[in-house]
Amino acid sequence: MSRRDAAMTYVERGWHVFALSAGKSPLANCPTCRTGAHRAPAEMEACGCLTCHGFYSATTDLDRVAAMFAGHPDRLLAIRTGKVSGIAVVDVDPPEGLDTMRDLMAEGLLPETCAQRTGSGGWHLLYEHPGGYVMSGAGKIGRKIDSKADGGYIVASPSIHPRTGEPYTWRWDYPTAPLAPMHPTLVARLRPEPPAPRLATGTGFTTLTSKRLQGLVDTVLKAEDGNGNNSLYWASCKAGEMVAKGEISEQVAFAALSAAAAQLGIPERDAGRSPQHGTIGSGLRRGTR
């Protein structure tokens, strides 16, 4: 199947698709977007550029998809996972992950579903997204089994794996097999930790570094209407620098910033549900660089 036909089939299923480099990495942002013109997830999704912001560029608009690949025969076709596409994917890395997969199957945790053989000899098991937030991450389901759900993506057939030269292929050669619901036990493993207790502002900070963190929180809380997300991003970058210097832990920074975001009324899906997600996650990563 050509990339174009494959993309059409995916889009028909409601899956959002986008382009990766031949090496499986996201394409570089354009100079404007590189300067941070679009930082919050909603801004990145609304960005008019064709391929900026990685999986946020994923779309069901086939003209846009065609333009992403025009003149770039080496680019890989990828599917954005998570609520937006209605899928949560169990990503099995060979060889150890195959053993874990067998164990999970024996436990009845991996019902038969739409599946893709990866170019490295592993599997992508595609399940119905259960709603709410489902975390993505390495080893979250078991040894060498990753989750690709909200905030994630998978490389898709007919892409060729850059290391092995082998193609991604759908089981039974077609990606139209029905999606089974994800087993509740797996879903439970992929829910975020309950939110950290809120830090009262203006109290409880004694050390100099804690006072600096408090200063960042206060700045976020003083943000003017409509500027909350930018302010949160700025504070997250600064907090990331403190994390990089070992002054505070990532968890402490995240707890303080997410509490401030909640007080400002920034939705959790934008602010980020963990230190790896959303505006806070982007800021912390940037700050620690």
The owner of tokens 């008019």 is 48
Residues that bind Zn ion (CB under 5 A): 30, 33, 38, 47, 49, 52
Whose Cβ is closer to Zn ion: residue 30's or residue 84's? 30
Q: Name beta bridge partners: 91.
A: 124, 146
Q: Which is nearer to Zn ion, 170 or 233 (CB)?
A: 233
Residue 20 bridge partners (DSSP): 26, 76
The nearest distance, CB 95 to Zn ion, in angstroms, is 39
Nearest approach, Cβ of residue 51 and Zn ion (Å)? 8
Residues in the chain: 289
Q: Report the residue number, 30 or 62, with the smaller CB distance to Zn ion.
A: 30
Give the nearest distance from C-beta 55 to Zn ion in angstroms.
Answer: 13
Smallest Cα–Cα separation from 54: which of 75, 32, 80? 80
Helix, strand, coil: what percent of the chain each, to 5?
A: 40, 15, 45
Residue closer to Zn ion (CB basis): 61 or 103 = 61
Query: Would you say 17 or 33 has its CB closer to Zn ion?
Result: 33
Q: In angstroms, rounded to a whole number, what is the distance separating the alpha carbons of residues 175 and 219?
A: 49
CA proximity to 73, closest of 8, 11, 3: 3
Residue with tokens 């992950």: 97
Cβ 30 to Zn ion shortest distance, Å: 3
